[in-house]
Amino acid sequence: MEHAYQLIRDYFVFTNKRLVLVDKQGMTGSKVEYHSLPYKSITHFSIETGGTFDLDAELKIWISGSAAPFQKQFNKKLSIYEVQSVLASYVLK
């Protein structure tokens, strides 16, 4: 593990070869889904930020062979720009 970020209940874990998304589901968070995304499979990603009064933001990551992107909602507690910068540094190597 090289970088890790907690987003409410979910996690972004950046390793030297892949991004691991840990998605806690349900009211108790007892159900957990893990997504292991090799950086070479990430075709593109985008961020969408809110306006002045809307502090929510969204990160979308597209994987080759999949039409729908992975989507994660951000709030003001974790900077979407910091996570996007780290993601870019790994994907654009």
Both tokens assigned to 44: 């593109």
40 half-sphere exposure, CB direction, 13 A CA radius: 2
The pTM score is 0.83
Any residues with CB less than 8 A from the CB of 31 and at least 6 apart, and which?
A: 24, 25
C-alpha 71/C-alpha 33 separation (Å) is 14
Vertex 80 angle, CA 75 and 86, to 5°:
150
Both tokens assigned to 55: 């502090």
Residue 27 has pLDDT above 80, yes or no: no
Q: Of residues 19 and 9, which shows the higher confidence score?
A: 19
pLDDT tens-digit profile of 37-71?
999 999 999 999 876 655 688 999 999 999 999 99
